[in-house]
Structure formats: structure tokens, C-alpha cells
Chain A
Amino acid sequence: MFESLTYKLQETFKRLRGKGKLTEKDVDEALREVRLALLEADVNFKVVKSFITSVKDKAIGQEVLSSLTPGQLVIKIVHNELINLMGGSQAKVNFAPHPPTVIMLVGLQGSGKTTTASKLANYLKGQGRKPLLVAADTQRPAAVKQLQVLGEGVGVPVFAMGERESPVKIARAAVSGASSRGCDVVIIDTAGRLHIDEELMAELADIKAAVNPHEILLVVDAMTGQDAVNVASSFNERLGLDGIILTKLDGDARGGAALSVKAVTGKPIKFVGVGEKASALEPFHPDRMASRILGMGDILSLIEKAEAAMDVREAKKLQERLGASDFNFEDFIVQLRQVRKMGPLDELISMIPGLGSSKALKGLKVDEKEFSRIEAIINSMTPAERRNPSIIDGSRRRRIAKGSGTKIQDVNALLKQFEQVRKLMKQAGAIERGARRGGLSLPFFR
């Protein structure tokens, strides 16, 4: 998408350039493409409109008209403007000067409040806090049980009073008892509700009045469309939000809702949910979100993922080995495992700029099983064979194939690929860069 947007813009300007001089009208034409891109990313119609107006002013001021690469300049301006709009840098949780800090999660049904509550508890626990989860969703069947199970999973106590008590009473009791339980943060999970449901919105206001939360966070599904503005502004008007948590960002939604909710509430996006695991809650990065909305991919998250998955000492050892001429299967399997630790391959690919939505990759299937097969083959080698693959002759190949439950052709293919990788490693220059990013290269991706 980003590539196609850049391309389209460049084409537009190229065509216009033939006329000799660019005019304001020409810039308008280019911005039409930007508008389409934003609308396809689900940014709200009105938000797009005002955004385009503000970009246009900036674009004209910045001499796009006389630039040699007006297409790229427009992209840069749009990108920067998106970052500005979503709040320059990441925001933090407001902690109360006198504990407990009370955090209340609100939102529509199915936006991910309960899951997010446990992730947030896990995150705060990791920062040395002592959170208490509160099951105040008495509406959805088994929501209390769900929070209890999730709380147990992350080792955080859950305060529950069943499904018959009023949420206001539950919240009040939880907050007043938090300190005596040794908890300094109280996270209240509330029932999902429609922003136009008067009765239930009044209930939230009652909870707020009863426990005075320090943070009221709206949980928003990243896949939300145009309606995000209605939802966010209703919740904000009624409760006075302190921030937003964007969930399900591990999908392929472009997430224009992020821009919409920020624009209508003015409240920062504090966290994003990026997976099913308890640890899959991250601080929000406006620059990455801007790239994503424009379809630029998310190379920063990819690098961060690589860093998180890599054992530093192991990576350093591997670096040294990568340059060595006797790079062998033992090094290789370390590398392979590190790549796998980063997550499902197609998830990684979707973060690489240009690859995520490229047509060429549409038919391509990343076979996770292929990894297991390669690992099985290497595991079926003797230590001597791993260290010195050149001794692997015909009968050893047959044995390895048998041992790993693969065909001899698979073993042959692996050996051949390995040899190619080794040659590549040896090449000077490649070593320098390869060593730095050693764990990142994906030699067996095809």
C-alpha cells in the first residue's frame, strides 16, 4: 500500500511535471491519493477531511511545488503530520501519589477489555507493582470466571463477588480492600456496553463516582471502522477518558481507528495489544502507527521483536561464529531457533515494508512445518556431522532421513542450502553486516 501510494504520487507528479510548473491544484490531485489511502485504512471521513486540509497548508509552505521529488516530500509531510496528530511520543500510566492507583477499563462488547485487563496487570507486575484485578463485568456470562482464569495465569489476585452484586458495589469494595491485601494498583474490568445504552453508561458514571479512578482507559478494537469516532466521543463525554488502549493490532488491519479516536478525544493511546499471550501488551508508538496506517510496514517492531527474542550472549557468540569459515550446523540451529522464537513467520513478514501487502506474496504460504522438518533433520545428525557436514555421505544421508522421518531429497536440499548460506557468510563485507544482524537473516525462507 505504501509502495503503491508512493508510486501513485510519483506518477501523478511526473505527469504534472510535463506542464512545466506545478500548481496548487496539482497538489490537490496528489492529496486525493492520500485521502483514499487514509479512508481505506478506516480513518474517519471527517478526520480525513480536516487532516488533508492541514497537510495541504504544510505542503504548500514546504515548497513541494519546486521540489525535485514532490511525491516523497508529500509522503514525508503526511507521515510527520500523522505522528504529530497521534501524540508525539508515548504516554505513561498516571500513578496516584497515594496508592492504590485505580484504573478502569471501558469499551464496547468484544473490544478485548478482559484480556487487556490481565495483560495490563501482567505488565504492571513486571514493573514491580502489585496489581489487583476486579471482576466488575457481571453482564456477560462467565466473564468473572474468565478474569479469574486469566488472573491466575499471570499470578495476579482477582477480586470477585459473583455476578449478582452491582458493579458499583464490587468496585467500591475492591478499592477499599486493596491496600489491606498489599495491592497498589486496582484494575477494574467492566462489562462491554454500547455507547448509546443510557442505563449502562450511567452505571459506568456511577462506578466512576464511587471509586474516583486515576485512569479511565477506553479499549478499542484496531479493526473498528468509521464508528470509532462515535464510540470514543460518547465515552469521553460521559466519563472523561484518560487514554486509549488499541487491541488486536497483531492482525492486518491498518488501524485508522487510532487516528480517529485520538482526533476526536484528544486523549493519548497508551498501549497496544499485539497478541494472545499475556505479555502481548506494548507501549504505543505513534511513528510506527503512522507507518502502518500508510501501509509502510513496521520494521521497528520487527527489530524490537528480534532483540527481545535473542539471548544477548548467544547472539554475540553467534556473531563470531558467523564470520568463521567453519560455520556449521550447530551454529545454524541456534540461529534457526532464534528466528522461530520471534513468532510465526507470516507475522514477521507482514511487518517488513512492502512485503506485508505485496501481491507477489499473496500466493506464498510460509510453512512453519518446514522449520520443524529442518530442525528434525539437524537433530538426526551426529555431533560430528553437525560440526563437519562434509563427512555426510550417501549412507549417512539415508540414516539422517530415516531418523528424522524425512526423505533423502529433503536432506540433500538442506545440505545444499546450507552450503550456499555458508558461502554467503564467507563473503567479505557481508560478514560485517551479517554479523550485526546475524539472527535476523532468514536463509531458509523461500
Chain B
Amino acid sequence: MKGLNLNLFSRLKQGLAKTRDGLVGRIQIIVRGKDKVDDALISEIEEVLIEADVGVKTTERILERLRENAREMRIVSPDALIELLKSELAAELGQEEPGGLTLAPGTTTVIMVVGVNGTGKTTTAGKLAYKLRQEGKRVILGAADTFRAAAIEQLEIWGNRAGAEVIRHQEGSDPAAVAYDAIQAAKSRGADVLIIDTAGRLHTKSNLMEELKKVRRVINREIPGAPHEVLLTLDATAGQNAIAQARIFTDAVGVTGIALTKLDGTAKGGVIISIRDELGVPVKLIGIGEGLDDLRDFAPREFVEALFAGMGEG
């Protein structure tokens, strides 16, 4: 685990170093030029947070608390202020909680992967299958994205890479029926985990959300307590609309966690702070590349540390 974290740490640092414009570098520049905590510093931090897609309201809330705490704790140095900000953010993102996915003991754990179009559901399902295979689990993939052209083939390629069987129907068939068959297959093969990939859908299309609810109902009917995890894939480049996505998917199918994808770019995915705050939905996994092993458990402290990592090194 420690090795993994270190690895993640350096991967993220690498990603951020590439940007030069990253949160770390920016705050570092801000801090370097200052020797005291003043309004100018705060408003520059505001800019950094908003540009990380944290959102205006959440940024204001964070800054207000930061100001208060800084006053109370008599913080006068910019470095100490950033340190305080880091630990506050990590705490807010669930630093004290056990991370990763919840696997059900003694039965097939069913994981549903949901989200809007193009956020990386199929890729995440494939990488997750590989990750769980590496942990010695028997994994089956259910190709319930029967809508997008060639989505089934895409998942099959991932299944091959990961060493997981893919249960599929024809394109255009009923996704709930695929889920049903995948469950029967998972049961009869004694699989530890069943990952069901679903079609991308905009949260505003109520008929498609109904279809998704039906898939969930079928899963729940076949295995009581399932799905054990409903993962919402969220594109790190997404802006404030991600909150609406998270809210509506949570209302419809009970999202248990977020897979924050494409974190290897320059986008920061800061909107997850608002989602956590408003809906209480934690981030569980992060995607940091297109490789098989580029899916990691989300670790708030490491995540925030990595964001601020360039500070001490210049």
C-alpha cells in the first residue's frame, strides 16, 4: 500500500509538474512573493480554488473558514496558512475514513458503473476488473452498455486485457436483461465481483434514468443487498454541472462513490469538494491514465499532498 501511494504520489506530481500552471506551482508562486497573510493572498488563493473548479460558493465557504481559523490560531505566515488549508481539505475529503471499495463477504459483490457520456465508464470498468484480478479476485464484466456503437467490443478488449469474462448480448438489447444474465453467470461461476458497465446517459434524460433504475432493480432482486457499489464516473475536467450529475444519479440509483477520471491532465476535479459537501458522496477511485494499472484508490491526504507537492522543492 505504501509503495502504491508513493507511486501515486509521484505520478500525480509528475502530472502536475507537466502543467507548470498547476495548483501547486501557482500557490507556491503566490506564497513565495508574500511574507504575510493578507487580503491579497486570500484573493489569490480564491482564484486558484475557483480555477480548480471548486466553485464559487464552496470556495467562499472554504476561505471564510480559513480566515476564521487563521485568526483563531494566530497564523501569520503564508506557509502555515497553506498547510492549514491542506489539512482542512484532506479532512473534508474523508481523510479519516477507510478508502476504496466495499466488497461483500460471502457473496458476489456487484458494482454498477454509471455516468454521463464520455466520462470513462468502460475504461474504468476494465481497469477496475484488472485491479481486482491483481488482488486475486474472480471477476466478471457485464456489458450493459448496449446503446453506444462498439461499446461491447470495447469492453471485451478490456476483459481480455484484465483476464475477466465478459457477459454480453447483442447491441440494442435490454440492458436489464444483460445484467440479469451477468448475475446468473457470476453466481454459477462463483465470481467474487461482477462489474456492470452501463451506457452513458445525460442525467437530464428521464427515460434513460428510468432504464438505469430498472437495471438496478433487477440486480437487487437477484442478489439482495446488491449492487454493493454504484460508482459514478466523473470527468475531472467537468465543471459545476458535475454537482447536478451527482445529485440526479444519486437520487436515481443511489451512488455510493465516485470514480474521478482523467486526473492526469491539467484539470483538478475540484468540484468533488462541493459534491462531498452537498451530497456526502465520497471519491473512491481515481483514473490517472489509459494504462491497465492507472486506476487507484482515492487517498485524500496523498491527493492533497500531491497537489501541493511542488512547494518545498521549487
* Interface residues, chain A, with chain B CB atoms under 8 Å away: 36, 39-42, 44-45, 108-112, 139-143, 145-146, 148-150, 153, 194-196, 221, 223-228, 230-231, 248, 250-254, 256-257, 276, 344, 346-347, 350, 365-366, 368
Residue of chain B at shortest CB distance from A110: B118
Contact with A along B56-99 (1 / 0, CB 8 A): 11000000000000000000000000000000000000000000
A362 to chain B, nearest CB (A): 10
Besides the known contacts A195-B266, A226-B267, A248-B118, 5 further A-B residue pairs in the complex with CB atoms under 8 A apart: A42-B53, A108-B265, A110-B117, A149-B171, A225-B240
Q: In the complex, which of the residues B52, B148, B150, B264 contacts A194, with contact meaning CB atoms closer than 8 Å?
A: B264
- Tell me how many residues of B have a C-beta within 8 Å of chain A: 50
26 residue pairs bridging A and B, Cβ less than 8 Å apart = A39-B56, A108-B237, A110-B117, A112-B117, A142-B154, A143-B154, A145-B149, A146-B148, A149-B150, A149-B171, A194-B262, A195-B265, A221-B235, A223-B241, A224-B239, A225-B53, A225-B271, A226-B52, A226-B267, A230-B21, A248-B117, A251-B203, A253-B244, A257-B239, A347-B204, A366-B206
Whether the pair A45, B235 counts as a contact (CB closer than 8 A) is: no
Q: Is B45 in contact with chain A by the CB < 8 A criterion?
A: no
Residue of chain A at shortest CB distance from B126: A141
Of the candidates A36, A142, A149, the one having the most CB atoms from chain B within 10 angstroms of its own CB is: A142
Which applies to chain A's interface (DSSP): helix, strand, loop or mixed?
Answer: loop
Residues on A with C-beta less than 8 A from B147 are 276
Contact with A along B205-249 (1 / 0, CB 8 A): 111000000000000000000000000000101111110110000
Q: Is B9 in contact with chain A by the CB < 8 A criterion?
A: no
A39-B56, A252-B204, A365-B206 given as contacts; is B150 within 8 A of A225 (CB)? no
Complex CA distance for A264 and B266, rounded to whole angstroms: 16
From residue 255 to 294 of chain B, which have CB atoms closer than 8 A to chain A? 262, 264-268, 271, 290
From residue 27 to 73 of chain B, which have CB atoms closer than 8 A to chain A? 47, 50-53, 55-57
Complex CA distance for A332 and B288, rounded to whole angstroms: 55
Whether the pair A111, B153 counts as a contact (CB closer than 8 A) is: no
Whether the pair A194, B204 counts as a contact (CB closer than 8 A) is: no
Residues on A with C-beta less than 8 A from B52 are 226
Whether the pair A227, B265 counts as a contact (CB closer than 8 A) is: yes
Q: In the complex, which of the residues A39, A110, A252, A347 contacts B50, with contact meaning CB atoms closer than 8 Å?
A: A39
Q: Is B10 in contact with chain A by the CB < 8 A criterion?
A: no
A109-B262, A344-B206 given as contacts; is B150 within 8 A of A223 (CB)? no
From residue 80 to 138 of chain B, which have CB atoms closer than 8 A to chain A? 116-120
Whether the pair B207, A142 counts as a contact (CB closer than 8 A) is: no
Complex CA distance for A256 and B55, rounded to whole angstroms: 13
Q: Is B202 in contact with chain A by the CB < 8 A criterion?
A: yes
Q: In the complex, which of the residues B57, B203, B266 contacts A196, with contact meaning CB atoms closer than 8 Å?
A: B266
Whether the pair A347, B262 counts as a contact (CB closer than 8 A) is: no
Whether the pair A42, B50 counts as a contact (CB closer than 8 A) is: no
Complex CA distance for A344 and B235, rounded to whole angstroms: 26
Whether the pair B202, A248 counts as a contact (CB closer than 8 A) is: yes
Complex CA distance for A365 and B241, rounded to whole angstroms: 20
Q: Is B19 in contact with chain A by the CB < 8 A criterion?
A: yes
Residue of chain A at shortest CB distance from B56: A39
Whether the pair A141, B154 counts as a contact (CB closer than 8 A) is: yes
Complex CA distance for A176 and B144, rounded to whole angstroms: 39
Residue of chain B at shortest CB distance from A365: B206
Complex CA distance for A131 and B42, rounded to whole angstroms: 54
Whether the pair A196, B237 counts as a contact (CB closer than 8 A) is: no
Complex CA distance for A318 and B143, rounded to whole angstroms: 46
Of the candidates A40, A149, A253, A350, the one having the most CB atoms from chain B within 10 angstroms of its own CB is: A253
Complex CA distance for A442 and B63, rounded to whole angstroms: 47
Whether the pair A226, B239 counts as a contact (CB closer than 8 A) is: yes
Complex CA distance for A6 and B151, rounded to whole angstroms: 45
Residues on B with C-beta less than 8 A from A228 are 237
Residues on B with C-beta less than 8 A from A347 are 204-205
Residue of chain A at shortest CB distance from B206: A346
Complex CA distance for A368 and B57, rounded to whole angstroms: 35
Whether the pair B241, A254 counts as a contact (CB closer than 8 A) is: yes
Whether the pair A368, B237 counts as a contact (CB closer than 8 A) is: no
Complex CA distance for A141 and B292, rounded to whole angstroms: 12
